[in-house]
Amino acid sequence: MIFGLTGKNAAGKGTAAEFLVACGFTYHSLSDVIREALAADGEAPTRERMIAMGNALRQRGGPGALAHAVLERLDHTHNHVVDSFRNPAEVVAFRTAAGAGFRFLEIVASEGVRFSRAQARGRIGDGVDLEAFRQLEARELEGDPAAQQLVATAALADLQVSNEGEVKDLHDALRPIVLEALRHAHRPPWDDYFMFIAIEVAHRSNCLKRRVGAVIVKDRRITSTGYNGTPRGAPNCNDGGCPRCNGLAQSGTRLDECLCSHAEENAITQAAYHGTSVAGAAIYVTLSPCLMCTKMIINSGIREVVYNADYPLGSTSIALLETCGVAVRQHRVRKGGRS
């Protein structure tokens, strides 16, 4: 779960972030990307330079540049809170990447309350009087597409959280929001779960032509995995072990020279090697099976084939599976996303 925070100056975004950190969330700020850029140039992170550098980074890398930089740092096994959203494209980038796992909150407080807080914290660049405070803030509210646009950004918020009172009041307002989000956080269905594992298994392939992964599942328990590559004891394909792949043969040609075993073949033979029956199991594979693997699947007793992408010559295989009573269906997933 990722919570994004926006709000006007001294509204209490930092206080909201501290509450989430205390709840186990990992803290990030889009402003950190700006501070790092200023530090690389040997500049101090004053408010004026932060605004200017942020605008420059967005102009160079696009309006969502800061968001994309922070997204690359997120560990998807943790919950995160991300502060300082100031451009609508930053919100769009997070919603695209995280989907329902992203909640965007605007922390709101009246001008008088915010000015009093700004004066109390004494941060350089907050403005020495109310008029200066207003003038500085006006520069952040609306601008060109690559600049800060707090008004348009706040309009994308899922919820507004009032912060007019004490810190405890803000905590009390945030607590049910956080609990509701965590209790309804996305949990992948079984098909997604096993297919994503098959995709990870494919990354172990040493084949130069194509990486394919397979996972055999029985009673929702993984019994075997396999990826395509040369046989046990032979040089790996990417070390020169397969003459067809290393000769960059055109698709569909020189198949008699290919030494690589297919993912489904390896998953089935690995189960046999370790004395595990696959009868009645399902096989999740990143590519629909070829005819040779199809015959092996049928004769091994596997009862269901679930595949992600179509094999170019796979129609005969699918027809044979159906003829022999093996259930077959396509379940598409995309890397980094859901089905």
Which residues are known catalytic residues? Answer: 264
Q: Which residue has the tokens 């500049």?
A: 43
Q: Which residues contact 339 (CB under 8 A, 6 or more apart)?
A: 189, 191, 192, 195, 331, 332, 333
Residue 70's beta-bridge partner residues?
A: none
The amino acid present at 229, given as its one-letter code, is: G
Q: Which residue has the tokens 């392939």?
A: 205
Residues 321 and 305 sit within 8 Å (Cβ to Cβ): yes
Q: Which residues contact 294 (CB under 8 A, 6 or more apart)?
A: 317, 320, 321
Alpha helices in the chain, H assignment, sequence order: 13-22, 30-40, 47-61, 65-71, 88-98, 111-121, 130-141, 150-154, 167-183, 190-202, 243-246, 263-273, 291-300, 315-323
Residues 251 and 312 sit within 8 Å (Cβ to Cβ): yes
Nearest 10 degrees: Cα torsion 277, 281, 287, 288: 110
Residue 217's beta-bridge partner residues?
A: 222, 282
Residues 9 and 126 sit within 8 Å (Cβ to Cβ): yes
